[in-house]
Copies of this chain bind each other. A is one copy, B any other.
């Protein structure tokens, strides 16, 4: 393929991260998180978010999401989430596995967002009763799987409803930086200030090699988290290397630079395809109703991307990486702008 728009997972790591990795590779360091890099995480993330936090690195987004959810949800519990969330569609039942069999309650929601009304519907449908799974957590995705973002007030409304009903709030932030870049807000504004209790803070897609962090804003919820992480095989022995990635990502500002770069290019593609947009472009993903012929034509020109929607819907998902070249984007914009031809 000439042009990679399949996923930000296909991108390389950014120089800040690679430099940090090389610098961390000196001599001996204590294992399992007792190294100096890992020991700095809580402090650096506290500065980043503007309040004290507990931070636990893991190496995949699925690990971050599902160990976090296991800290919030008992085996007979349920997790209210959007029907297109990653935990519903892309983790092969990892949430069920990690929680010991809790249930996801997938809700439909416009533009990929959960709302207070949807949460209330899920709660009404699963009342307090020994016969029913018990809603224990809400999991939202920021930016969403539709490339949109939650604004602080929408989040706060949802989280307030959750808390009032005794549920905790988890945020899947695999593309958290992209969301913050769009919103132009402080990272705390769309997390703990809006009621998020635990965040899966993603760095992998946006410039790291394999580095995600489970960030507890409500540090009381940490409880037995460390046992659960270990038991799932997610306590890294040479943790310094993951921690060094996370520190570099945050401290150098790479998180925001990378996200802004991807978002800006996504906007250009969104403009080029504006007549065919399925959802507003608010992060680094663009969803287009192109038709099957146009999709085939784009692929024939070397553009790699995934289908979206049901088979035959003619919909496409375009993801822009932090290191996407301008040339890639220009080529795609041109292709989208070209008058449909017979072959297209």
Indicate if the CB atoms of A58 and B233 lie closer than 8 Å.
Answer: yes
Q: How far is the CA of A237 from the CA of B224 in the complex (A)?
A: 27
8 Å CB interface, A300-324 against B: 310-311, 321
Known: A10-B30, A30-B10. A97 touches B92 (CB 8 A): no
Name the CB-closest residue of B to A61. B237
Specify which of B74, B130, B228, B235 is in contact with A230 (CB 8 Å cutoff).
Answer: B130
Indicate if the CB atoms of B232 and A232 lie closer than 8 Å.
Answer: yes
Q: How far is the CA of A290 from the CA of B11 in the complex (A)?
A: 52
8 Å CB interface, A200-248 against B: 204-205, 209-210, 224, 226-228, 230-238, 241-242
A66 at the interface (CB under 8 A from B): yes
Indicate if the CB atoms of A22 and B29 lie closer than 8 Å.
Answer: no
Known: A10-B31, A31-B7. A92 touches B131 (CB 8 A): yes
Indicate if the CB atoms of B59 and A75 lie closer than 8 Å.
Answer: no
Indicate if the CB atoms of B62 and A94 lie closer than 8 Å.
Answer: no
Specify which of B12, B25, B231 is in contact with A91 (CB 8 Å cutoff).
Answer: B231
A164 at the interface (CB under 8 A from B): no
A31, A96, A228, most chain B CB atoms within 10 A: A96
Which of A98-106, A142-150, A267-275, A335-343 sits within the interface? A98-106
Other A-B pairs, 8, CB within 8 Å; known A67-B233, A94-B231, A209-B238? A62-B235, A74-B224, A75-B96, A90-B131, A91-B131, A92-B130, A93-B102, A93-B231
Instruction: Using CB atoms and an 8 Å cutoff, list the residues of chain A in contact with chain B.
Output: 4, 6-7, 9-13, 18, 21-22, 25-32, 58-64, 66-67, 74-76, 78, 89-94, 96-104, 124, 130-134, 204-205, 209-210, 224, 226-228, 230-238, 241-242, 310-311, 321
